[in-house]
Amino acid sequence: MIDLSPSRKERCLLVGVSTRLTGKSQTAESLEELALLADTAGAEVVARVTQDREHFEAATFIGKGKVEELGYLVREKKIPLVIFDDDLSAVQVRNLEGVLECKVLDRSALILDIFAARAKSNEAKTQVELAQLQYLLPRLTRQWTHLSKQFGGIGTKGPGETQIETDRRMIKTRIGHLKEKLERIGRQRVTQRKGRRKHTRGALVGYTNAGKSTLLNLLSGSDVFVENRLFATLDPTTRLVPLTAGMDILITDTVGFIRKLPHHLIASFKSSLEEITEADFLLHLVDISSDNIEDQIRIVQETLDDLHGGEKPTLMVFNKIDRLGDRGKIPEFAKAYPHAVFISATRGINILGFKESISRLLSDEFVENNLRISQQHQKLISHLYEVGEVLDVQYENNSVLLKIRLPRKDAERIIRLVKETENGIHELL
Ligand SMILES: Nc1nc2c(ncn2[C@@H]2O[C@H](COP(=O)(O)OP(=O)(O)OP(=O)(O)O)[C@@H](O)[C@H]2O)c(=O)[nH]1
Ligand SMILES: [Mg+2]
């Protein structure tokens, strides 16, 4: 585990590169976030170095002169760890470690390390190990093993040295086993979700540290782990939340997103992230006190698009309004996002308004119908279970009465299908 006591903190130097594409301010913001990540991993940032470049050096990522400058800093300040904000190849890491004579990591390795330290459940541990091995496989070199033994500490934990030392084939076998195990856990998850079908489900999504777990705790009176560090939540937690007098909904808290999230990680967290793709609607939580609101919103949306969750009915929720000195930012975002709601999860500000906004979203996006179908049309009945939320079932003579909630955009087509099937016009099902 990472030792967070100040005296034992591993000192590190951060390196960021800006190109014409990324620009200086984006690099600075990204580097600021890398510092937070380093802090979360238990390291102390003692220096930051940036470079403007038109292209990346194949051998060392940054230019020769910059490498020398880094080497000087590392030796002078006796820094054991250098972290690059961009992904490095195995060759680049090897060359840089050779010249700098210290451990070199990239942002992905650092994020994976944090996830490894934070993983608690069987599923999260399996997901992280899979992502680590997939990250490691193309980077597996004798020198890397040698250095991991020599330096130890951040970025050298994880799958364990014995596995790193075994050959690629064994790692590939292990990857196969982990994937199978995740599939098994994933199937259990599907069964659990089916058991919860009666309720409408929302998923809390957003940038890491936006306050998702805090909000779920407030809404459900539960005690999901909350911390002012990145990636406090790895496992999705689902809780029943009273929405209005007659209606409870399920809300799931999910892992936070961040820029340059390693793609292995997203792939291996597939089954947890299915909680998002399977949800009826999303609550996109944004930290309004952050300096990079627009960037964070964009990154969350891009990640959701990757997961095919970008099309879901979404309520934008701006959190932490208690941290705004003046309320100046609220009108600006209210104008840009007309349906958004503004809250404070820690102070419990405007939670009623938040619940009303969810109710409005649900009544805009979903309609409830009562459908009567002959029991002989089993295929149609199972189709309805797939496309909608069956709220109630009653059997009457040879018919099934379904009270069903359908997405408004599909409702007309489905009702027509039911009529045509009942009248024997439609042979689809
Ligand atoms: N001032 C203020 N702080 C808040 C508010 N909501 C959450 N926080 C703080 O923000 C930090 C992060 O909260 P979490 O609930 O862990 O955030 P999260 O989105 O679940 O984060 P990850 O699980 O890391 O993705 C904690 O220190 C919370 O106390 C709020 O409304 N106002
Ligand atoms: Mg959380």
pLDDT one-digit tens code per residue, 99-108: 999 999 999 9
> Tokens 């999910």 appear where?
254
* 188 vs 180, more confident: 180
Query: Which residues surround ligand 1 with Cβ inside 6 Å?
Result: 206, 208-214, 226-228, 230-233, 256, 319-320, 322-323, 344-346
Q: Write the pLDDT tens digit of every residue in 217-270.
A: 999 987 777 777 787 777 788 888 998 877 889 999 988 899 888 877 887 777
For residues 391-410, average pLDDT = 88
Which atom of ligand 1 lies nearest, measured to the CA of 253? 20
The Å distance, Cα 232 to ligand 1 centre, comes to 9
Which atom of ligand 1 lies nearest, measured to the CA of 345? 31
Over pLDDT 90: what percentage of the chain?
A: 39
Residue nearest to atom 10 of ligand 1 (CA): 211
The Å distance, Cα 209 to ligand 2 centre, comes to 7
Q: What's the pLDDT score for residue 429?
A: 45
Q: What's the pLDDT score for residue 4?
A: 47
Q: Write the pLDDT tens digit of every residue in 257-298.
A: 998 888 778 877 777 788 888 888 999 999 999 988 999 999
- Cα dist from 121 to 125, 127, 233, 234, 264, whole Å: 6, 10, 11, 9, 19
pTM reported for the whole predicted model: 0.82
Q: What is the largest CA-CA distance in the chain?
A: 86
Collect all residues with Cβ–Cβ distance below 8 Å to 245 and sequence separation of at least 6.
none
* 153 vs 241, more confident: 241
The Å distance, Cα 206 to ligand 2 centre, comes to 10
Q: What's the pLDDT score for residue 230?
A: 80
State yes or no: pLDDT of 201 exceeds 60: yes
Which atom of ligand 1 lies nearest, measured to the CA of 233? 23
Q: What's the pLDDT score for residue 153?
A: 63
Which atom of ligand 1 lies nearest, measured to the CA of 234? 23
Most informative mutation of 205, 226, 272 for ligand 1 (most atoms within 8 A of CB): 226
Q: What's the pLDDT score for residue 160?
A: 52
Q: What's the pLDDT score for residue 425?
A: 63
Torsion of Cα atoms, 231 then 309 then 266 then 293, to 10° = -40
> Tokens 């880094």 appear where?
70
Quickly list H helices, 153-269: 161-165, 168-195, 212-220, 263-268
* Res. 307 pLDDT band, cuts 50 70 90: confident
Most informative mutation of 114, 209, 321, 351 for ligand 1 (most atoms within 8 A of CB): 209
Q: Give the lowest-confidence range in 132-141, 347-356, 362-371, 419-428.
A: 419-428
Q: What's the pLDDT score for residue 148?
A: 47
* Res. 205 pLDDT band, cuts 50 70 90: very high
For residues 140-157, average pLDDT = 52
**All domains of the chain, ordered by start, with CATH?**
6-161 (3.40.50.11060), 196-349 (3.40.50.300), 367-422 (3.30.70)
Q: What's the pLDDT score for residue 53?
A: 83
Ligand nearest to the CA of 321: 1
The first and second tokens of residue 369, run together, are 């119908």
Residue nearest to atom 2 of ligand 1 (CA): 320
Average pLDDT of the chain to the nearest whole number: 84
The first and second tokens of residue 26, run together, are 């984006």
Residue nearest to atom 17 of ligand 1 (CA): 211
Most informative mutation of 214, 227, 324 for ligand 1 (most atoms within 8 A of CB): 214
* 103 vs 386, more confident: 103
| Range 115-118 contact pairs with CB under 8 angstroms and sequence separation of 24 or more | 115/231, 115/234, 115/265, 116/157, 116/158, 117/1, 117/2, 117/41, 117/42, 117/157, 118/231, 118/232, 118/234
State yes or no: pLDDT of 1 exceeds 80: no
> Angle at which helices 122-136 and 270-277 pack, to 10 degrees?
120
Residue whose C-alpha is closest to residue 283's, from 260, 249, 258, 322: 249
The Å distance, Cα 294 to ligand 1 centre, comes to 18
Which residues are 207's β-sheet partners? 257
Q: What's the pLDDT score for residue 152?
A: 58
